Structure 1
């Protein structure tokens, strides 16, 4: 048995009680506006978000936070957490990260296998971004950086595809086609994120997603919280 694999599956599971299923990150508005009406359009939207947002900002932040947790550098953890929160461009996206971060941090405390120093660091933060809490779990369980980044990206990708299946709507087979096609890129995107973390080179220029998220805030009917 590989304990690290079990931990990765745990963190990437849609059953992780952090509420990820309730967010679409602007995808719902893109469907409502008519910008996405087909499997191909949904796949392109998700692919762009994966390559230009997750791999360039969120995943590098995750890696940097894993390193800060592993070295028990509370000042660096707090700095990176605040810096990541500052990259959340809209109220919905910010609220999403903070709600999921709070839920995961509470779960980790309840699981009772986190070092006391990690618990203390989490308790000292008024706002906890999702990558911050996720990185704390990954560092607690001493997960490999590349495996952790790949797992994090997979969890996001699966959630976005399932949102598209509900919203466009698409059949389950179409969803599986998108997952199979887009997942091929995850190992290299994880490598890309690690290189950006090493160079402190985060980038979060995604105006299309930002506009979609902003417009979603006043969308009249909706299934998702973002």
Structure 2
């Protein structure tokens, strides 16, 4: 690898790291309610829930939207960036899901300044005036500014999401560390194909129709005992 490629890899690992200061670990995206209701009760059911959501929801809407955002950022298409940001905000099925992406987007926008990286100035200038910015909007802007390959970026984005879901399952079910690693190994096997599919999926075929996920997220809002914010 060239030094430039090595730097891009390091930057991508930074974006996908649990150390990214956006508070992702505080959200379960309805998984905690799925545990409360008995839909998720062990390693097998946790793996099925996360994999199905990745295949039918995240991989068919959020991932292709992220790819479109990266293309818009790379092409300097501000109108498309704003339209996709609004589309993602409108796609959040529950108050908690919407609050999650707005809070994480706010934290990513603040990180743009905290990084003190001049290459991110254009991203900051675009998102600064927005009253609400979605997490994928800023994430994609940084990835594009750092010239990260879109397929690698989507792969890392899906991995970060899956890792957060597994960590939520470890706490909520609960599961052991070895079970978590088995789940991540299986999800990791599925992620490359999901990333390639997301890159090729035309906008007319994007879909986040996942009724059980939407119900879980909505019911979590009134769940009495909980660890997570969504």
TM-score, length-scaled by structure 2: 0.95
1:108 matched to 2:109: no
- Contact residue 123 and residue 138 of structure 2 kept, 8 A: no
Partners of 2:20 and 2:146 lie apart in 1 by 16
Aligned match of 1:92? 96
The answer (yes or no) to whether the contact 1:88–1:94 under 8 Å persists in 2 is: yes
1:50 shift after superposition: 0.8
8 Å CA contact retained: 1:72, 1:117: no
Measured at CA, do residues 115 and 171 of structure 1 come closer, stay the same or move farther in structure 2, by a change above 3 Å? closer
Q: Which of 153, 172, 179 is the matching residue for 2:177?
A: 172
Q: Does 1:36 align with 2:40?
A: yes
Q: Find out whether 1:20 has 2:24 as its counterpart.
A: yes
Mean CA deviation greater in 18-27 or 70-79: 70-79
Q: Does 1:132 align with 2:137?
A: yes
Task: Give the drift of 1:168.
Answer: 0.6
Q: Following TM superposition, by how much is the alpha carbon of 1:124 offset from its aligned partner in structure 2, in angstroms?
A: 2.0
1:47-92 Cα distance to aligned partner (Å, 9 max, x none): 1111111100101111100111111111111011001111111101
- Alpha-carbon displacement from aligned partner over 1:83-110 (angstroms, at most 9, x marks no partner): 1111111101111111111101110222
Structure 2 counterpart SS, 1:80: helix
1:51-90 alignment, distance < 5 Å: 51-90=55-94
State the distance in 2 between where 1:169 and 1:45 align: 15
- Say whether residues 1:123 and 2:122 are aligned partners: no
Q: Deviations along 1:146-197, whole A, 9 cap, x unmatched?
A: 000000000000000011011111100000000001110111100111012x
Supply the distance in 2 between the matched residues of 1:173 and 1:71 (Cα, whole angstroms). 43
Query: Would the alpha carbon gap of residues 17 and 83 (structure 1) be closer, same or farther in structure 2, given more than 3 Å must change?
Result: same
CA–CA separation in structure 2 for the residues paired with 1:119 and 1:149: 21
**1:112 Cα shift?**
2.2
What is residue 159 of structure 1 aligned with on the other side? 164
1:150 aligned onto 2:155: yes
Q: Using a 3 Å threshold, how does the CA distance of structure 1 residues 30 and 104 change in structure 2: closer, same or farther?
A: same
Question: Could you list the runs of 5+ residues in structure 2 that have no partner in the other structure?
Answer: none
**How many Å apart are 1:115 and its aligned residue?**
4.0
Aligned residues: 225
Q: Which deviations, in whole Å up to 9, do the C-alpha atoms of 1:114-163 show, x marking residues without a partner? A: 34332211112111101101001101101001000000000000000011
CA RMSD of aligned residues (A): 1.1
Stretch moving more, 110-119 or 167-176: 110-119
